[in-house]
Structure 1
Amino acid sequence: MGTSAHTVKAFDQDLDQLRASIAQMGGLAEAAISESMRALMQRDTEAANRVIEGDKKIDALEAEVERNAVQLIALRAPMADDLREVVAALKIAGVVERIGDYAKNIAKRVHVIEHTTNLEPLSLLPEMARIVGEMVNNVLDAFAARDADKAVLVCERDRSVDDFYNSIFRTLLTFMMENSHNITAATHLLFIAKNLERMGDHATNVAEMVYFAATGEHMPERTKGDSPTDVHTDG
């Protein structure tokens, strides 16, 4: 009995460490979103460089979570609910790392549009980024609390992010048609908007994982808003 209790306590401590690492990753990713957007709005290339450099920390934490999760499964052989949570942690770490990559991609574009002015559609991006940052924050809170209801609320907010993207896309298209000199800068803003939209998608993916980890059931299917186009944003 004493050995069993010790094993359970050790497992809980390992799981707490996984949660803490993911929470740290989430905090860094959320900060990267807001900082990349601030750098964009202020054309602050030094701040953009800090975001780009800071992504290495998120990558290192993901590798740490992956090592610890695999070790936890191998040594503790968790069952049922516990196994779902460890697997969810492993997957969530990968998704949060991807969100960090999108923030880094936004920061990289600050250098390209550093001297661009009079870009009216730029004014829509900060609010879109704010919603995405809140989604990331809320979904990781839901994971820490095993709160399925909160995970569902995160998914519902994705509609607002999609609406922002569609609005920005149409505005930028008009902007490019009115003046060909705007095409290059507007294209970069479109990539940035798409990066934010993809972050929202990733936050909803995490929410679905949280829901499954907490309930053992898949979240009821949601209808994704149609985007007017799709843009490759890995560059």
Structure 2
Amino acid sequence: MSEFHEHMVKSIDEEQRRLVGELVRMGELAAAQLEAALDVVERRDDKAAARIIEDDEAIDALEHETGHEVMRLALRGPMARDLRELLAALRIASDIERIGDYASNVAKRSMAFNQAPPLPQVRGLAALGAVAGRQLRDVLVAYRDNDADAAQRIRARDAELDMQYTSLFRELLTYMMEDPTSITACTHLLFMAKNIERIGDHVTNIAENIWFRAHGEDALPRRERRDGTSRIA
């Protein structure tokens, strides 16, 4: 290998490591945004919710910057392995941006939810969000460490989130039937819970792209799904 070629390979490797670091930072912002959104639901704090909604623009901007960085690296003629790295980065950036959007949606919905009396099911929403937040932070570590096996385990854990979401969904439907005056507040909680369940789906997407980054098109094991809400009459 010539000295020039060796320098180019080293330079690309360093820039890819920097790209991974930027995506992990972006993911940590999204995780913090989710945690803050869950906190404002519990505290019924409209002003803090408005700040979370504004902060979503920072994640959007980072996704835009990541797209430019990936295109710049792609134009340098990377090898097949590097192309997988860049394609995975683009997909992961998109998933993190959507996670930020869903966290922002929880904050937006909390402002309408606060117009109604408090509901005890807020605890169930907090528990659901805690599971999603842990999975997001764990998948960021797996991406940073290029740990495809850990990513596969996190992907399998989405069934846990689905089960909790289905349980909360059933509980809220029952509560609405028993107390029709709670329908509006419960509907807001249902939308917030669905946003959190969708965050879990995007964590799964990130895990699958970590696998793709390491193994290419090699098939992942079939994933168990336990969201039973579509079967509830």
Deviations 1:206-225 (A, max 9, x none): 10110111122232121212
Instruction: Please state how far the C-alpha of 1:197 moved relative to its aligned partner.
Output: 0.5
Deviations 1:86-125 (A, max 9, x none): 1100110000000000000000012101143341211111
Give the TM-score, by structure 1 length: 0.94
Aligned residue number for residue 62 of structure 2: 61
Q: Which AA in structure 2 matches 1:155? A: R
Q: Return the alpha-carbon distance in structure 1 between the equivalents of residues 18 and 161 of structure 2.
A: 32
Taking only aligned residues, the RMSD between alpha carbons, in angstroms, comes to 1.3
Deviations 1:43-80 (A, max 9, x none): 011211121011000000000000000110012x1122
Q: Return the alpha-carbon distance in structure 1 between the equivalents of residues 138 and 227 of structure 2.
A: 24
Q: Return the alpha-carbon distance in structure 2 between the equivalents of residues 184 and 165 of structure 1.
A: 19
Structure 2 portions without partners, runs of 5+: none
Q: Which AA in structure 1 matches 2:52? A: V
Aligned residue number for residue 178 of structure 1: 178
Aligned residue number for residue 108 of structure 2: 108
Aligned residue number for residue 233 of structure 1: none
Q: Return the alpha-carbon distance in structure 1 between the equivalents of residues 89 and 7 of structure 2.
A: 23
Percentage of pairs with the same residue: 42
User: Map of 1:144-155 to 2, 5 A cutoff?
Assistant: 144-155=144-155
Aligned residue number for residue 221 of structure 1: 222
User: Map of 1:184-199 to 2, 5 A cutoff?
Assistant: 184-199=184-199
Instruction: Please state how far the C-alpha of 1:32 moved relative to its aligned partner.
Output: 0.6
User: Map of 1:55-204 to 2, 5 A cutoff?
Assistant: 55-75=56-76, 77-204=77-204
Q: When the two structures are aligned, how many residues end up with a matched partner?
A: 229
Checking the alignment, whether the CA contact within 8 Å between 2:165 and 2:227 is kept in structure 1 is: no
Between 127-136 and 35-44, report the one with greater CA deviation.
127-136
Instruction: Please state how far the C-alpha of 1:35 moved relative to its aligned partner.
Output: 0.2
Checking the alignment, whether the CA contact within 8 Å between 2:34 and 2:103 is kept in structure 1 is: yes
Q: Return the alpha-carbon distance in structure 2 between the equivalents of residues 210 and 56 of structure 1.
A: 26
Checking the alignment, whether the CA contact within 8 Å between 1:208 and 1:218 is kept in structure 2 is: no
Moved over 6 A (4+): none
Instruction: Please state how far the C-alpha of 1:172 moved relative to its aligned partner.
Output: 0.5
Q: Return the alpha-carbon distance in structure 1 between the equivalents of residues 126 and 134 of structure 2.
A: 12
Checking the alignment, whether the CA contact within 8 Å between 1:211 and 1:218 is kept in structure 2 is: no
Deviations 1:18-54 (A, max 9, x none): 1121011101000011000000000011211121011
Q: Return the alpha-carbon distance in structure 2 between the equivalents of residues 118 and 57 of structure 1.
A: 31
Q: Return the alpha-carbon distance in structure 1 between the equivalents of residues 17 and 57 of structure 2.
A: 23
Partner of 1:146: helix, strand, or coil? coil
Checking the alignment, whether the CA contact within 8 Å between 1:106 and 1:195 is kept in structure 2 is: yes
Partner of 2:230: helix, strand, or coil? coil
Aligned residue number for residue 40 of structure 1: 41
Give the TM-score, by structure 2 length: 0.95
Q: Return the alpha-carbon distance in structure 2 between the equivalents of residues 188 and 13 of structure 1.
A: 46
Checking the alignment, whether the CA contact within 8 Å between 1:139 and 1:154 is kept in structure 2 is: yes
Q: Which AA in structure 1 matches 2:91? A: K
Aligned residue number for residue 212 of structure 2: 212
Q: Return the alpha-carbon distance in structure 2 between the equivalents of residues 35 and 118 of structure 1.
A: 18
Checking the alignment, whether the CA contact within 8 Å between 2:139 and 2:207 is kept in structure 1 is: yes
Aligned residue number for residue 51 of structure 1: 52
